[in-house]
Structure 1
Amino acid sequence: MKLFAVPDLPEIEPGDDIASLIDERVDLEPSDVVCVASTIVSKAEGRLADLSAFPAGPRAREIAANLEDATGEPKDPRFAQAVLEESVGLLIESPFLLTETRFGHVTVNAGIDRSNVPGHDLLLLPRHPSASAEEIAGGLDADRVIVTDTCGRPFRHGQRGVAIGWAGMPASRDWRGEHDRTGRELGVTVQNVIDELAAASNLLAGEGAGGTPVVVVRGFEFGDHEGSDEHFREIEGDLVRQALREWNDGS
């Protein structure tokens, strides 16, 4: 398996055709997996915003005041309002906002970015990342596309690449029922391949001012396994999210 970044992409503007920009710069093979950073998807879809578009309500002002008390740093209640409007729920309200997005992703601040947003204050995540992946795939010779983002993880320091949308392939491959080298049947192993490919691509995509937001994975083979489109855990089976909700409701 090989990975390479798509070179010389311009600053993305609202309305830009990401698939065409990729196609102009690289010859894709049908089996390639194209990993696209959510930042450029959001920019192409016009998800740029200013804080003035989010006048703070009482709840946002309360949240901002509590965050100020917890962190000792000033917090703009308009940003809290933006997070509330981009979320369906808050799992943690202090000392940071851990949110549930409309499409199932659990992340800090609803994934709202405040860096590399020329001319605006905020960059919101795509509304429907998997639909965005489908649209990009429709303009490429390769039909496997992953929309990636970076976020932190419980029990780990730092951020990693994750998948927030995908098209043309299952999200995971199921090893249950197969056997290990000793002949023991696997009972719980389900491998989230789109997250693993997103993390691999993020090593090339980079961060900060020198990022390359599209990475092509060549030679990945899904193999002869059952596949599943389960990616974000449903609340009924997510014991950690249930515990956080109960803790937040009782705090």
Structure 2
Amino acid sequence: MHLFAVPDLPEIGPGDDLAALISERVDLRPDDVVCVASTVVSKAEGRTADLADFPAGPRAREIADRLADLTGDEKDPRFAQAVLEESVDLLMEAPFLLTETRFGHVGVNAGIDRSNVPGGDLLLLPERPGESAERIRAGLSGADAPTGVDTPAATATDTPAVLVTDTCGRPFRHGQRGVAIGWAGIPASRDWRGETDRDGRELGVTVENVIDELAAAANLVAGEGAGGTPVVVIREFDFGDHAGSDNHFREIEGDFVRQALREWDFDG
């Protein structure tokens, strides 16, 4: 497979048609995977906000004061309030905020961005990035936009798949890498269980998270900071003859790291 960035995309604003902007700049193939950074999806969906939109409550002020004591830097309690409102679970509140978003993604500060946000202080993640991916895919196919992920309009095999990507850190590794937070037209994972290795032994546990791997590859091409290009096309990726599923975010019952975090308190 090979990857390339979609060139010359303009600054994205509320209401912009990302599918049309992409289609105008590249001739897509049916088996392409189009990776779209969540930043431009959020901008098109009007997910910019001001700190003034989040008057701080007692919990947010408490969190901000504790982080300020730990770091020696003043923390805006309105930002803590924004994180709380964008989250359904607060896994850690010190030495940073690790949260679960409404759609199941676990990351720092609910994925809220404070850089490259024209017209606001904050850029929030898309509310439902799976539906965002479906809408973009429908636009690429020329179909009507779907009303929800359970009734996608873009189901034809001749329509490129779409990933909505973000960057975040991960346990036990330094730095950030690309991840998928929404997807359409491709299974989230491919299941090798029941297949055999080179020695004929049956695989019992191997499930490959394909959309995260593709998102990480796309992030190498997209770049970061001021020089980033927010849309990358992956061409000639072959899913192969494997079982697939949309299992992506780990269920709490089997997430032993999350369970351990709930019993842990930072005392630094």
Match of 2:233 in 1: 216
Amino acid at match of 1:123: L
Instruction: Compute the displacement of 1:52 (Å).
Output: 0.3
* Structure 1 residues 29-75: Cα deviation after superposition (integer angstroms, max 9, x where no partner): 01100000000000000000000000000000000000001111110
Map of 2:129 onto structure 1: 129
Structure 1 counterpart of 2:47: 47
Q: Is the 8 A contact 1:35 1:145 kept in 2?
A: yes
CA drift of 1:83 comes to 0.2
- Find the counterpart in structure 2 of residue 70 from structure 1: 70
- 1:200 counterpart residue number: 217
Cα shift at 1:250: 11
Cα distance in 1 for partners of 2:267, 2:106 equals 20
Identity, % of aligned pairs? 80
Q: CA deviation at 1:96?
A: 0.3
Aligned residues: 251
Structural mapping, 1:154-169, within 5 Å: 154-169=171-186
Normalising by structure 1, what TM-score?
0.98
The answer for unaligned runs of 5 or more in structure 1 is none
User: Which structure 1 residue ranges, 4+ long, deviate > 3 Å from structure 2?
Assistant: 248-251
Aligned positions of 1:140-179 closer than 5 A: 140-141=140-141, 142-179=159-196
Partner of 2:110: 110
Partner residue, 2:243: 226
Please list the CA deviations of residues 74-131 of structure 1 after superposition, one character each: whole Å capped at 9, or x if unmatched: 1000000000000001111011000010000000000000000012100000000000
Q: Helix, strand or coil: the match of 1:31? A: coil
- Aligned mates of 1:162, 1:248 — CA distance in 2: 27
Q: Secondary structure at the match of 1:145?
A: strand
Assess if the C-alpha contact under 8 Å between 1:91 and 1:248 holds in 2.
no
- Partner residue, 1:189: 206
Match of 2:145 in 1: none
Per-residue deviation, 1:246: 2.3
Q: Is the aligned partner of 1:235 residue 2:252?
A: yes
Separation (CA, whole Å) in 2 of partners of 1:173 and 1:210: 33
Structure 2 gap ranges (5+): 142-158
Which secondary structure does the structure 1 equivalent of 2:263 belong to? helix
Match of 2:13 in 1: 13
* Residues 32, 144 of structure 1: 8 Å contact kept: yes
